[in-house]
Structure 1
Amino acid sequence: MSSPATSDREKVVSKLPGWLRQSLKIRAAQHGVEIQAAVEQGIRDWCNLASATTAVDTSGADSFSTFLPPGQWEDFRQIATDRRVSLIQGLAQSVQLWLDTNPAPHVARPEITRRIVVCNQKGGVGKTAITAGLGEALAEDPDALRPVRVAKALTQALRQSETHADEPAQDENPLDIENLPGPGQRVLLVDFDPQCHLTNQLGATPLPMDGDSLTNHMAGDPKGDLRDLIVSVDEEGFNGRLHLLPACHDAFLLDVRLSAVRAREAGLERALAPLEADYDVIIVDCPPSLGLSMDAAAYYGRRRESERPGNSGALIVVQAEDSSADAYDLLTTQFDDLRGDLQVDIDYLGIVVNLYDSRRGYIATSSLQGWVDIKDPRVVGLIGDLKEQKEAVRVKQPLLSYAPKSQQAIGMRALAREVL
């Protein structure tokens, strides 16, 4: 049956099997089209065929409604009658025809492996959580839909923070949430911090001091193939797209060992370059340091010859408080010195304001405004201080596996799309 809609379309109600409706929903999102437009095109193409297509299993079909141009549903009904197929079968064939003619797009692969250096000289701002969450969001299944905050609306968040400082933070507007397919990127997370926080948080084991490690490869003293140290993160959840290079406590000695190496700034690149062909994105969780290890990380994230600006670079994690601003100044000064000394371009991918809670009052809200006012680099992520991240760390699971619908997970997906 059909009933008039308030626009130039009419509402039609029929039935469709759940599996076909879900396939339609995912494929429409993958192509960035509305479901009603996909159904309209499928019906049009089906009606233009010489005869009905192969029958579709419609067992278990339940209610399905959409909006079509006036008259299309009546024309469709007549053609279905002429072909002696039910409306449900005709609609199922139309949807399947659209799916067949609009296959899932291939996952976009970068020409040059993206290298994202997550950094800040200050500890405790949540660099590790952002590294993990960003990598998880980039590696999510391209054939499944997940909630994403497609518009962060920082101005709205600021306004809410200033006027409702005594209320729970409401950084997300439900109207800004959209279900989108995952990017499907092949991601390597590199734990570059001797404290091994990323390794421990994701349930892996730090590498033994008497074995091989990233430090050994950077210092020119490898004991094997670095690939042999890599572990998969939640193989079932990410289908082998998310890997981790665990840390070793020997990284506490990295600066000393690098001081004896020629071209020490290139140490991290020499170690990781052989792995790049296996990944779309490599994300480095940096230690809270301004030493030689940070120089090596910054150099690794530099813009290479023929690489487009913003493909790789530094993602700076801060909190909405004063000490983060002091650390930010130290870090950007180090980057400026490297640019001048080595004549390289190091792009800023943006600032992530992490662990934000407007209930902390003026310090939080004014600091957030200060980060937004910087403009270059711009704020690309606002992640709330909520319990799910802490719980995920406690149970040693990826946040997006442990709490995929949490506001923090939704924010991580928004961040991933900002830096893609």
Structure 2
Amino acid sequence: MATPSASDREKVVSKLPGWIWQDLKIRSAQLGIEIQTAVEQGVTQWCGLASSPSPVDTAGADSFSTWLPPGQWDTFKKVAADRKVSLIQGLAQAVQVWLHANPAPDVQRPEIPRRIIVCNQKGGVGKTAITAGVGEAMSEGQESLHPVRVSKHFAAALREAGSTDPLELEDLPGLGLRVLLVDFDPQCHLTQQLGHEPLPMEGDSLTKHMAGEPAGHLRDLIVPIEGDRFGGRLKLLPSCNDAFLLDVKLAGVRAREAALERALTAVESDYDVIIVDCPPSLGLSMDAAVYYGRRRSNEQLGSSGALIVVQAEDSSADAYGLLTSQIEDLRNDLALEVDYLGIVVNHYDSRRGYIATSSLEAWMDIKDPRVVGLIGDLKEQKEAVRVKKPLLDYAPKSDQAVGMRALAREIS
């Protein structure tokens, strides 16, 4: 049953019901401890009880192995024999005892909702896909494990490995955050890609609220994004084609840079993160988005700010220069603290040859802001758009979904 290991632990082979094994994996990941440590603690707690807890349904138990300190398994077997329970039943009870003693941690909710503006004045770089993907990844539930590649130093790891995909997959709980996606683009791509219709021109809209002409409460315009993995935490503020008129309307509004903030303040308390899909523009609407993403008083540095989406080609570099110039002008003119959350290189495909690979290297050479994500140009995103479903619901284990989760954690 038990054999010595190099780590001075004994390998234990038994059986455990699949549902308990899954709960054990998830809870251990949530608390950031090893499974063997959790089982060790559970066995210790179970052996210390005055009597056995209520029986656990062990039907369908399957093979399970772990490593325990020398002698613990022998002690466990003796206690199980004294209590006249099988080893499988005793182990299941021990894991249940540990689960009850170590409840899932509560999601840490910020006092001020994070505000992420996803931007680049060049169209077609995939701002909408990144907005949706990051929001979906942030709202996935803590009660399930999801494949993700994680690195706190993405660029360094990428360069050191000499590869575009050097990181190991790891199953981690979702972040469980309440997320609002704001479609701030008059083209309404985010709204349509997530299966909703643009708001009617004759009705209420974000544009009307920003222009001081609201026809109702902004909260009434927000719609949920369906999907069990999001648990009702992911919402969308749809766009309206009247956003094409926004710059004209803002020209006559006092303190126009604060117009987006004035509109969204009414719903901020409902969310942990608000992600704005910005239009491909350098106009007044973009000024309002940058102002909204500024660092507020007493807000942690790097909590809110600009996430810049580019592609590995030359025109993205030109657009990047124009966008950062606009942000710097606003920083200086209005004395704003605007943080860069990083650069995301989207639609990357090394098979496109020298232009793609050399452009990626050029982006990686930028140290401030640094590259925080690399998303491949793969079919799953296009398919999700075609069927109007969230990528992480349509293809949750795809490389793009894994990359979105990594990106969400990299900027968290």
Partners of 1:328 and 1:400 in 2: CA distance? 28
Instruction: Tell me the SS of whatever aligns to 1:13.
Output: strand
Which residue in 2 is equivalent to 1:329?
321
The aligned residue for residue 46 of structure 2 is 46
Task: Show the counterpart of 1:172.
Answer: 165
Residue from 361, 380, 399 that aligns with 2:391? 399
**Equivalence for 1:129:** 129
- TM-score w.r.t. the length of structure 2 is 0.97
Pick from 361, 366, 379: which aligns with 1:374?
366
- Number of aligned residue pairs: 411
State the shift of 1:347 in Å. Answer: 0.4
Equivalent-residue separation in structure 2 for 1:83 and 1:368 (angstroms): 64
1:166 paired residue number: none
Counterpart in the other structure of 2:83? 83
The alignment-based identity, stated in percent, is 72
In the alignment, structure 1 segments of 5+ residues that lack a partner are: 162-169
Q: Which amino acid aligns with 2:119?
A: C
Q: Deviations over 1:71-94 (max 9, x none)?
A: 111111112112222111111111
Return the offset for 1:153. Answer: 5.7
State the TM-score, normalizing by the size of structure 1. 0.95
Q: For 2:326, give the aligned amino acid.
A: Q
Q: CA deviation at 1:52?
A: 2.0
CA contact (8 A) 1:158 1:368 kept: no
One-letter code aligned to 2:408: A
CA distance in 1, matches of 2:128, 2:62: 45
Look up the equivalent residue of 1:334 and give its one-letter code: Q
Secondary structure of the residue aligned to 1:274 is coil
Distance 1:265 1:110, change over 3 A: same
* Letter paired with 2:116: I
Whether contact under 8 Å (2:294, 2:304) holds in the other structure is yes
Q: How does 1:6-405 map to 2 (within 5 A)?
A: 6-151=6-151, 154=155, 171-173=164-166, 176-405=168-397
Find the aligned partners of 2:165 and 2:21 in 1 and give their Cα distance. 28
Moved more, 75-84 or 115-124: 75-84
TM-superposed deviation, 1:158? 5.5
Cα contact 2:140–2:230 (8 A) shared by 1: yes
How far apart in 2 are the matches of 1:93 and 1:235? 33
User: SS of the counterpart of 1:413?
Assistant: helix
C-alpha separation between the residues in 2 aligned to 1:132 and 1:223? Answer: 27
Classify 1:154/1:360 alpha carbon distance in 2 versus 1 (closer, same or farther; 3 Å). Answer: farther
Per-residue CA deviation, residues 100-156 of structure 1 (Å, 9 max, x unaligned), is: 110000011011101000000111100000000000000001100110112386566
The 8 Å contact of residues 139 and 183 in structure 1, kept in 2 or not, is answered as: yes
Equivalent pair of 1:149/1:172 in contact (CA under 8 Å): no
* SS at 1:3 equivalent: strand
Backbone CA RMSD of aligned residues: 1.5
Distance 1:358 1:39, change over 3 A: same
| Local SS of the residue matching 2:116 | strand
Give 3-state SS (helix, strand or coil) of 2:108's partner: coil
> Is the contact made by 2:154 and 2:371 (CA closer than 8 Å) also made in structure 1?
no
Hey, what does 1:3 align to over in structure 2? 3
The offset of 1:395, in angstroms, is 0.6
How far did 1:69 drift?
Answer: 1.4
- The letter for the 1-side match of 2:361 is Q
How far the C-alpha of 1:368 sits from its partner, in A, is: 1.1
TM superposition outliers: structure 1 runs of 4+ over 6 Å = none
1:398 Cα deviation after fit? 0.3
- SS of corresponding position for 1:302: coil
Gaps spanning 5+ residues in structure 2: where? none
